[in-house]
């Protein structure tokens, strides 16, 4: 569970290999047509720009010595035209690739979100939300440019090098060899730092993920922070994480800046060598001043693509670190899913059977062992017992939010591991203690699980759970906008809205997990009347710590010692004078 901490670096499950990049090509192939157009435009732009040194050489060696003013104007106009056309083509290409980059972002992010929707609860139990969010947002943004512009630019820079080399050797082969002499030095530098660069970017990825995780956690818990005046302590933690990120970033930048520093110095040395070799070694008889000017221009142009390629390499190393994280998430197994021959669960009556069920969140640490019970359709079951005994685990297994370790869970005789999840969960209604309210209107929140519900059905559900009165007190009633997590509502109001949402789905099996814990006693009494009518004909599982709310259930199960320690009606369990009796008596005395 070490990954479930904001200050622990995530280790990749497997190292990056070329297979990851091949997977990335899937998103690139979807944009093949616009990328080909952009490539052609870039090639034309680069080819036109490369003619400028040749024009300059001709003007210096021929036109100016001949004092031809009209041709000079013509050559100047032609050079200006090459610049204008090159810029126009580059601009069109840039617009195309901006759209391509955004389309790639859209595709990757959509696949990530779709996969995250399917991952089991266990995945979210083991990770801070911030470390998940950063992969969907920041990391996808970071790789998009490399996967779009990066591929085209890499090919173009290689072509540029070949074109420039061809132009250079066409002008003067000996001076071309002088320009190429710096390449072995540059390659040696890149080989020395490439492994360090990848590790450095991995460190940046880790520190960024940690910082994002703590930031998300701090924002979610801001009320608790202010209640306990933890601002100063939290600021210290955030500062430490920020300093760690800054150190990792600066170390990476030092390595990255070695590349342009090396290229700049090599370019200066090569250009100096051209003048030395051209003027002193070869002499003016073999090399004209126009040739030297042209070769100096080509030297700068030759090393510019090399600098661009090195920058692309840096970007690729950076993107590799993020691609590893992205594909690690996409490779996370969907352990709770439909089996190959899963069948539709037909409309159910609601009989639930646990047949020798064993379950563990972590291997070897069983929460439930050899659990056996049978619930008839329409029966109401209360699950009580100490905190951590496994009450919520039992109801989570009925909805198959986790896979059981052993045994079977049957609904109307159908093994739930062999039916389609959607057909199973669509016939259940689950009301949790932590009532999550989505941003939007109250109407939309109630309709969340049944999009085709009419306004009349929504209002009827709200009236059943006693939510209609307080909703109508708002100026806009059911069209009142609420924030994420329902910050404008009281905890009791959030629970009532969640109740209405659950009941609107008209489930055959109803699960209430501490569903009335935040509702005042008067509202709870009113709500109970509606619930009594609603629970008729439905199988219900009710988890409650206030035992007075479950006295009338058909059966009460006391969950303890990895199973059902006691089972029976309220009167039967009180007569046994066992664990339930002691718990109920203690609560009655406290009241």
- Each as own residue / partner, the long-range contacts of residues 573-582 (CB below 8 Å, 24 or more positions apart, any chain) are 579/385, 580/384, 580/547, 580/556
Cα–Cα dist 271/268, whole Å: 5
CA 5 to chain centre: 17
Q: Which of 405, 383, 427, 386 minimizes the C-alpha distance to 515? A: 383
Residues contacting residue 498 through CB under 8 Å, at least 6 positions apart: 431, 432, 435, 436, 437, 515
Task: Classify burial at 522, counting beta carbons within 10 Å of its beta carbon; exposed 0-12, middle 13-18, buried 19 or more.
Answer: exposed
Q: Give start-end residues of each CATH 1.20.1560.10 domain in the chain.
A: 18-330
Q: Does domain 18-330 have CATH number 1.10.760.10?
A: no
- Describe the crossing of helices 491-504 and 521-535 by its angle, rounded to 10 degrees: 10
- DSSP code for 149: I
What's the pLDDT at 371?
A: 94
Structure-block tokens of residue 527: 């709500």
Q: Which of 424, 268, 401, 246 minimizes the C-alpha distance to 346? A: 424
Radius of gyration of the chain (CA): 35
Q: Could you read off the pLDDT of 98-146 as tens digits, one per residue?
A: 888 888 888 888 898 899 888 888 888 777 777 788 788 777 877 777 7
What's the pLDDT at 3?
A: 47
Count of residues making up the chain = 591
What's the pLDDT at 357?
A: 94
Structure-block tokens of residue 12: 């990749």
The partner residues of 360 in beta bridges, in order of sequence, read 366
Cα–Cα dist 391/382, whole Å: 10
The four Cα atoms 572, 577, 583, 586 give a dihedral, to 10 degrees, of 120
Query: Which residue ranges of the chain lie beneath pLDDT 70?
Result: 1-20, 227-228, 278-286, 318, 321, 433-434, 484-487, 515-534, 590-591
348-427+511-519+532-591 belongs to which homologous superfamily?
P-loop containing nucleotide triphosphate hydrolases (3.40.50.300)
Residues contacting residue 523 through CB under 8 Å, at least 6 positions apart: 466, 492, 496
Q: Could you read off the pLDDT of 461-478 as tens digits, one per residue?
A: 888 888 888 889 888 889
Structure-block tokens of residue 231: 């601002």
Structure-block tokens of residue 513: 């997990």
DSSP SS3 for 585: helix
Structure-block tokens of residue 463: 């009236």
Structure-block tokens of residue 64: 């100016």
> Hunting for tokens 């059905």 — which residue is that?
457
Q: Give start-end residues of each CATH 3.40.50.300 domain in the chain.
A: 348-427+511-519+532-591, 431-506
DSSP SS3 for 293: helix
Q: Does domain 431-506 have CATH number 3.30.160.160?
A: no
DSSP SS3 for 482: strand
Cα–Cα dist 39/451, whole Å: 46
DSSP SS3 for 337: coil
Q: Could you read off the pLDDT of 314-355 as tens digits, one per residue?
A: 777 767 767 877 888 888 888 888 888 899 999 999 999 999
Q: Which of 298, 89, 345 minimizes the C-alpha distance to 173? A: 298
What's the pLDDT at 563?
A: 92
């Amino acid at each position: 569970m070490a990954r479930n901490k904001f200050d622990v670096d995530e280790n990749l499950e497997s190292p990056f290999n070329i297979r990851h990049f091949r997977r990335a090509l899937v998103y690139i192939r979807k944009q093949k047509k616009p990328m080909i157009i952009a490539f052609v435009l870039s090639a034309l732009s680069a080819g036109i720009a490369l003619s400028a040194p040749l024009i300059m050489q001709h003007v210096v060696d021929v036109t100016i010595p001949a004092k031809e003013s009209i041709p000079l104007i013509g050559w100047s106009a032609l050079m200006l035209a090459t610049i204008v056309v090159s810029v126009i083509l580059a601009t069109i290409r840039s617009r195309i690739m901006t759209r391509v980059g955004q389309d790639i972002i859209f595709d990757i992010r959509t696949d990530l979100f779709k996969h995250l929707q399917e991952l089991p609860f266990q995945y979210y139990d083991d990770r801070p939300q911030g470390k998940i969010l950063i992969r969907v947002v920041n990391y996808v943004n970071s790789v998009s440019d490399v996967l779009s512009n990066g591929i085209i630019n890499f090919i173009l820079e290689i072509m540029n090098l070949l074109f420039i080399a061809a132009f250079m050797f066409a002008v003067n082969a000996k001076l071309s060899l002088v320009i190429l002499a710096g390449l072995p030095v540059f390659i040696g530098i890149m080989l020395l730092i490439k492994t360090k660069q990848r590790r450095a970017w991995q460190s940046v990825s880790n520190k960024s993920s940690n910082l994002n995780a703590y930031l998300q956690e701090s924002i979610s818990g801001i009320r608790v922070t202010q209640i306990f005046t933890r601002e100063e302590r939290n600021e210290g933690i955030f500062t430490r994480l920020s300093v760690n990120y800054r150190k990792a970033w600066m170390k990476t930048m030092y390595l990255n800046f070695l590349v342009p520093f090396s290229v700049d110095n090599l370019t200066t040395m090569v250009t100096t060598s051209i003048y030395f070799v051209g003027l002193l070694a070869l002499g003016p008889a073999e090399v004209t001043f126009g040739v030297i000017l042209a070769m100096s221009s080509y030297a700068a142009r030759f090393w510019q693509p090399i600098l661009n390629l090195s920058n692309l390499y840096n970007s690729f190393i950076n993107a590799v670190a993020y691609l590893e994280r992205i594909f690690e998430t996409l490779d996370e197994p969907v352990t709770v899913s439909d089996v190959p021959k899963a069948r539709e669960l037909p409309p159910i009556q609601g009989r639930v059977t646990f047949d020798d069920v064993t379950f563990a969140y972590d291997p070897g640490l069983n929460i439930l062992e050899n659990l056996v019970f049978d619930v008839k359709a329409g029966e109401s079951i209360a699950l009580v017992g100490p905190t951590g005994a496994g009450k919520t685990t039992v109801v989570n297994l009925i909805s198959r939010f986790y896979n059981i370790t052993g045994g079977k869970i049957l609904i109307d005789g159908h093994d739930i591991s062999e039916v389609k999840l959607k057909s199973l969960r669509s016939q259940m209604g689950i009301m949790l203690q932590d009532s999550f309210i989505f941003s939007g209107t109250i109407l939309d929140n109630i309709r969340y699980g049944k999009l085709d519900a009419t306004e009349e059905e929504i209002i009827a559900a709200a009236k059943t759970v006693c939510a209609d009165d307080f909703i109508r007190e708002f100026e806009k009633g059911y069209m009142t906008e609420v924030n994420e997590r329902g910050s404008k509502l009281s905890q009791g109001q959030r629970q009532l809205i969640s109740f209405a949402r659950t009941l609107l789905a008209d489930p055959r099996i109803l699960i209430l997990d501490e569903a009335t814990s935040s509702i005042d006693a008067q509202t709870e009494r009113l709500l109970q009347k509606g619930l009594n009518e609603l629970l008729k004909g439905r199988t219900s599982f009710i988890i409650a710590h206030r035992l007075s709310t479950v006295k009338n259930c058909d059966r009460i199960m006391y969950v303890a010692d990895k199973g059902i320690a006691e089972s029976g009606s309220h009167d039967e369990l009180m007569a046994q004078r066992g664990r339930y009796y002691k718990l109920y008596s203690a609560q009655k005395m406290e009241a």
